[in-house]
Chain A
Amino acid sequence: MSPNYSLEANFQNRIDNEEKIEPRDWMPDAYRKTLVRQISQHAHSEIVGMLPEGNWISRAPSLRRKLALLAKIQDEAGHGLYLYSAAETLGTSRSEMIDLLHAGKAKYSSIFNYPALSWADMGTIGWLVDGAAIVNQVALTRTSFGPYSRAMVRICKEESFHQRQGFDILYTMSQGTEAQKEMVQDAVNRWWWPSLMMFGPTDKDSPNSAQSVKWKIKRLSNDELRQKFIDMTVPQAAVLGVTLPDPNIKFNEKTGHYDFGEINWEEFYQVIAGNGPCNKERLAARIKAHEAGQWVRDAATAYAEKQQQKKSISVA
């Protein structure tokens, strides 16, 4: 038996026994790589995800809503921070991950390539997008990599708050004028299908999933997560009095789940390939912020070095 074999067997054993893997533990290279890719993708999604909502800060309709929106987006920035830190424990620095994003080599959730066109989008993003994120992230609290799992526990609490806040925006509007109700329906029509796509391709088209499930990086498959989300969301849509834009949604007595229509996978792959409505704008905004901030980061580093020198001189 080769020593590598026993390391791998031991690793899989620990996973099977529901032990958490910590950064200093031995792990297969592929496990490390998969995690860095997934966690950094997740971090990038939090950061790029700030942009569509950021688009409405200046136009929020009341001070209460403006404060809540600012705080929500700030939470997403915090999620990005925890996640970058979790990924850094695997030996890749935040700046390397950000460079890959800006070079178009790292992905982020396709949902953020859709435009936020009305105030109802702020409600809908909270309700559906944060709602989908919760389903995904609650499953990830049980992921096998310790730092990722712990980041998810912290993040999930805030995400449920975001979802309630989004629902509250929509509920208030749904009790309002005809124009407001139309805005709500329009926003739901636009965000429903992209939200379902957030869970990724169907299991039969998702080759990575099996290995990730074996390593317990992923605890549930894309299709299982999507179904959970739909089951959770359909009754909430009824409370809001909105129609989900899928005539095939129907409760199935036999399965105990909602059936739903065919997802337009062509659209999904086009958005992933960079051809969504806002891919270029989102990436350009991130790159612009990063480049415009270069002199600030350089100055902060230079200043810190000067201070360090002064300290060592005074000590000597």
Chain B
Amino acid sequence: MSDAPLIEVRDIVKTFGSVIALNGVSMSVRSGEVLCLLGDNGAGKSTLIKTLSGVYRPTSGEFLVDGKPVAFRSPRDALDAGIATVYQDLAMIPLMSVTRNFFMGREPVRGIWPFRRLDFARAQDVTREEMMRIGIDVRDPHQAVGTLSGGERQCVAIARAVYFGAQVLILDEPTSALGVAQTSVVLKYIHIVRSRGLGVIFITHNVRHAHVVGDRFTVLNRGRTLGTYDKSEIAIEELQNLMAGGKELAELSGALGGTV
């Protein structure tokens, strides 16, 4: 086994026309490690992980997978490399069934071409099983995803990424709509996935969640890396300050009467 990080980026820049979304970001995630990506709204977290998962191509900078430079041309390439992502917008098709969404782009098939067809029985079993494991009973696998609640939809996206992620699992605010039980399942998942030797990139605005599961913390601010910290180096209060982009939270807290 090589010592290289599973994913490493150096000085990544990403511009959208005149908007500079990422302005020199560096980070890495190793096998068996949870990297928390922290930062204010608009700091560039989603843009960074979309670059990692092949949605965007970086304008400049180095992108290494297993120590080798890569240039993903589409999310399909990233998935083939074992990088699975839960996007902030979930990437689900409301009009399609839970099962069809779960296996979208990675459908199991049987039979030989030209009679190759979807293996619905297997797809349905896996979907039901994985959803059960995350704590959601899919009552009817033919049910359209549009009819699920926001949290249930998020669970489908997470279960899907966990099922297909072989190397790296990327989670962009996966627990924003989840109930207490499902949130703890997701945090437990992250733990399990890490112990299986995968690398996890976890974006959250919840400092407690970050502190519970994170091994390292990379903080972004206005498209730049503010710093990377080991869990041992940093206390939860400091982390909270950093997450607010270094703004003095104590000041804020004072203004709001000590409620933050």
Q: Are chains A and B native binding partners rather than an unrelated pairing?
A: no
Q: Please list the residues of chain B having a beta carbon within 8 angstroms of any beta carbon in chain A.
A: none
